[in-house]
Homo-oligomer: A and B are copies of this chain.
Amino acid sequence: RREEMAKSTQLIDNEVFRAYATYTAIVLLKMMLMSLITAYFRITRKAFVNPEDTATFGKGESAKKFLRTDPDVERVRRGHLNDLENIVPFVGIGLLYALSSPELSTALLHFRIFVGARIFHTFAYLIPLPQPGRGLSWAVGYSVTFSMAYRVLKTAWLL
């Protein structure tokens, strides 16, 4: 059993996999941060969606007025959903890519550009920056994932 344990840790000893683990953890933590920002805006803007969430503001009609949508809350939520739509493919395809033995420098380039683009995308969405700032940062992250998928399919292709 000891030997098994030792072998199963090899993946984390591999440098490309360690880089993947580092950037994936960072970008998933960034995505998780969106929940906190949503909660912050819901509380400061007093804009909730569940009746039970407004109970501290009193009962009946007085609390009901806090069941509303707020543009800032909706903006963060759109950013969060965009993260899900783009970070999920990165995490899945990135894992397969990291296991396809790419050069460490090439892999780092992919991971760094993706994570940088997604952090920029969040700022562009929340500030908001004028277009095409947000659109371009989205396209950069999208292209990186596409590039990794190309290598995965080239390496692993078994249909």
Q: Is A28 in contact with B158, judged by CB distance below 8 angstroms?
A: no
Residue of B nearest to A10 (CB): B7
| Binary CB contact string for chain A from 1 to 21 against chain B (1 if under 8 A, 0 otherwise) | 100110111111111111101
Q: 8 Å CB contacts to B: which residues of A50-91?
A: 50, 52-53, 55-56, 75, 78, 80, 84-89, 91
Residues of B within 8 A of A56 (CB): 131
A52-B130, A75-B50, A99-B11 in contact; A28/B92 too (CB < 8 A)? yes
| Binary CB contact string for chain A from 96 to 120 against chain B (1 if under 8 A, 0 otherwise) | 1001110000000000000000000
Is there a chain B Cβ closer than 8 Å to A153's Cβ? yes
Is there a chain B Cβ closer than 8 Å to A136's Cβ? no
Q: Is B35 in contact with A85, judged by CB distance below 8 angstroms?
A: yes
Residues of B within 8 A of A92 (CB): 24, 28, 91
14 contacts between A and B (CB under 8 A): A4-B10, A4-B14, A5-B15, A8-B10, A12-B155, A21-B99, A22-B153, A24-B96, A32-B145, A32-B146, A50-B78, A52-B134, A80-B85, A91-B92
